[in-house]
Amino acid sequence: MRVLDFTRREPSLHLQPGGFVTEAGETNPAAIGATMRLSRYFLPILKETPREAEIVSHRLALRAGLIRQESAGIYAWLPLGLRVLNKICAVIREEQNRSGAVELLMPTIQSADLWRESGRYDAYGKEMLRITDRADREMLYGPTNEEMITEIFRGYVRSYKALPLNLYHLQWKFRDEVRPRFGTMRSREFLMKDAYSFDLDKESARHAYNRMFVAYLRTFDRLGLKSIPMRADTGPIGGDLSHEFIILASTGESQVFCHKDYLDFPVPGADTDFDSVEGLSTIVSKWTSLYAATEEMHDQAGFDAIPEASRVSARGIEVGHIFYFGTKYSEPMKAVVAGPDGVERPVHMGSYGIGPSRLVPAVIEASHDEAGIIWPDAIAPFDAAILNLKPGDSATDRVSGEIFEALRTRGLDALIDDTDERPGGKFATADLIGLPWQIIVGPKGLADGKVELKRRATGERMTLTPAEAVERIAG
RNA sequence: CGGGGUAUAGCGCAGCCUGGUAGCGCGGUAGUUUUGGGUACUACAGGUCGCAGGUUCGAAUCCUGCUACCCCGACCA
């Protein structure tokens, strides 16, 4: 029997320095609603490993019921996976907003004419999915949005007084990869946060770049990842203003080399002043002071200069990429602003990408064991699993519900396993889907008024009263 | 885009070589049993054998064409 509960207060939005957050400080917009009972949920877990899945994150994403492949490189997000994706997006939004970026939303479908202006329509190649509408107009499914954001910008902004400006959006994109693989790690359709900065000159653009640099350090840290900014190829623009943010994972797709000290660098706090040119510049200098490079940019001599004990040679996954490209688009597309001197000049731009749909497998790669996923607290689809070992038993039913409500009051989401599966199966499922906490509510423990609390990441178990367990999780 | 594979029940697979109208495990349903780390047993349901053509009395099986998907490489967030 499904019990709907509409008594929970709706979170009200109000503006805080860091942007929009909900009343309880929740980052998950999906966290509202009825008591979450597994028997009423949609969690199609797989006991056996699907044949197509090669790497661990793909296997676990399929087994834990996060995603389902619909075509090569195209995936449906199942409820559990969607919750993770939404939580990742929420963290990204908060950090983008904190850094001063402003969210908008651009369409997935774009006009070919727009891309002809920048000259990229012919240059982009077969990766671009080209389509025609009923009037035979040439359209495309956007692989990125530099042209469109430049078009929007030039339509409104004429003066340097509107600068600096950084506009971002979270939108699905499509790149017709020759070989999509590894689940959503490298899919053809993918979700992307891309931000675009507009500044009067290169010096201001560098500060815009630094804002994103620091925002990215904070974002990945909040997602439970150790990210390392690595020099990336700047192509024809040149300069040092392009970095890939790499996380280390043994199954990573590319070889990376860096100084060990990066792993212990303190991440800038929430109180960082993003308007301080000096402050951000200091942080970025520190984070770019030591050797760090992907295979493509690797300089063996530079790496060898590091003391041997401090050399890290590992596999990495690219989870973010920031880029200053100057007037590459503003010039051909005539996005110009008047400076204080009254002279019009093309704006200096940068673009800054993070792939949330790629971060899901990236996090799994970085955080799992033989039994399944281990979600970091910040992006776990639910904060805790309540394993009712004997549904139908009045005591276990009651205590499970009470714990759920107590957690909800503390702003935490739990998923109650009220299925009639055997205890062993419930333990296996809970380990597989990787919620940070498991609260095991069984007749044996309740005879002493106790439940068992298990921390998924460490395997640590504690026998506690229900109230103590809630306190331990929420506190 | 080059090379190599695969396609049979929701999932994982066998059957194909040597043509005779489809089977196993898991999962599902019903029941008995069990009850703190994927319990055991019984019964039942579920498949135009990727699609199209051909050979044959007869094709999952042999032949031809097509499609989809996977792996390695090159390429990319």
Q: What would the pLDDT profile of A399-446 be if each residue is shown by its tens digit?
A: 999 999 999 999 999 999 999 999 999 999 999 999 999 999 999 999
- CA at A143, C1' at B38: how many angstroms apart? 43
The mean pLDDT of chain A is 90
Ranges A42-56, A197-211, A325-339: which has the least confidence: A42-56
Check pLDDT > 90 for residue A75.
yes
pLDDT band at A18 (very low <50, low <70, confident <90, very high): very low
Place A136 in a pLDDT band, splitting at 50, 70 and 90: very high
- Residue A15 pLDDT greater than 60, yes or no: no
Q: How long is the CA A66 to C1' B8 vector, in angstroms?
A: 27
Over 50: is that where the pLDDT of A353 sits? yes
pLDDT value for A294: 87
Mean pLDDT of A96-112: 97
Percentages of chain A per state (helix, strand, coil), in multiples of 5: 35, 25, 35
Output the six-digit token pair for A31: 């966290």
Residue A17 has pLDDT above 70, yes or no: no
Nearest nucleotide from residue A143 CA, by C1' atom: B77
Distance from C-alpha of A335 to C-alpha of A42, rounded to nearest angstrom: 48
C1' (B62) to CA (A51) span, angstroms = 28
**Residue at minimal CA–C1' distance from B73?**
A179
Q: What percent of chain A has pLDDT over 70?
A: 92
Could you tell me the distance in Å between the CA of residue A471 and the C1' of nucleotide B77?
Answer: 40
pLDDT of residue A126: 87
- CB-based contacts of A118: which residues, under 8 Å, 6+ apart? A146, A147, A150, A329, A332, A333
- pLDDT confidence of A233, banded at 50, 70, 90? confident
What are the CA-CA distances from residue A218 to residues A98, A223, A322 (Å)?
Answer: 10, 9, 14
Question: CB–CB of A193/A340 below 8 Å?
Answer: no
What pLDDT was estimated at residue A199? 97
ipTM of the complex: 0.93
- Decide: pTM greater than 0.95: no
A175 nearest nt, CA–C1': B76
Between A173-177, A248-252, A300-304, A415-419, the lowest mean confidence (pLDDT) is in A248-252
C1' of B36 to CA of A89 (Å): 37
**Is the previous residue joined to A164 through a cis bond, with omega within 30 degrees of 0?**
yes
Q: Give the pLDDT band of residue A393 (cuts 50, 70, 90).
A: very high
Residue with the larger pLDDT of the pair A198 and A134: A198
Query: What confidence score (pLDDT) does residue A19 get?
Result: 35
A72 nearest nucleotide via C1' and CA: B69
Q: What pLDDT is stored for residue A98 in this prediction? A: 97
Average pLDDT of the segment spanning A212-238 = 89
State whether residue A431 is helix, strand or coil. helix
A413-422: pLDDT as tens digits: 999 999 999 9
Q: State the pLDDT at residue A54.
A: 81
- Mean pLDDT (whole number) for A146-155: 96
Amino acid identity for residue A394 in this structure:
S
Q: Which nucleotide is nearest to A425 (CA to C1')?
A: B38
The residue behind tokens 């890939």 is A244
CA of A361 to C1' of B48 (A): 38
Residue pointed to by tokens 């007084």:
A161
User: Which pLDDT score, from 0 to 100, does residue A235 have?
Assistant: 67
pLDDT at A123 (0 to 100): 85
Gap between the Cα atoms of A32 and A98, Å rounded: 24
Start-to-end Cα distance in chain A: 32
Do the strands A102-103 and A165-174 form a parallel or antiparallel pair, or are they unpaired? parallel
Average pLDDT over residues A193-219: 97
What would the mean pLDDT of A25-29 be, rounded to a whole number?
46
**How confident is the model at residue A238, as a pLDDT?**
63
What mean pLDDT do residues A86-96 have? 97
Name the closest residue (CA) to the C1' of nucleotide B2.
A178
Span of A41-50, A264-273, A281-290 with lowest mean pLDDT: A41-50
What pLDDT score does A373 carry?
96
| Strand B bases, protein C-beta under 7 A | 1-2, 11-13, 25-27, 34-39, 68-77
Distance CA A426 to C1' B65 in A: 50
Structure tokens belonging to residue A466: 């229900």
Determine the pLDDT at residue A100: 97
Distance of CA A7 to the CA centre of its chain: 31
Q: What is the nearest nucleotide to A44, using C1' and CA?
A: B10
Residue A316 has pLDDT above 80, yes or no: yes
Quickly give A189 CA vs B45 C1' distance in Å. 38
Per-residue pLDDT averaged across A156-162, rounded? 97
- Return d(Cα A443, Cα A392) in angstroms, integer: 11
Among residues of chain A, what percentage have pLDDT more than 90?
Answer: 80
Q: Tell me, what's the pLDDT at A296?
A: 83
Average pLDDT for A152-181: 95
Sign of CA dihedral A91, A92, A93, A95: positive
Nucleotide nearest to A317 (CA to C1'): B77
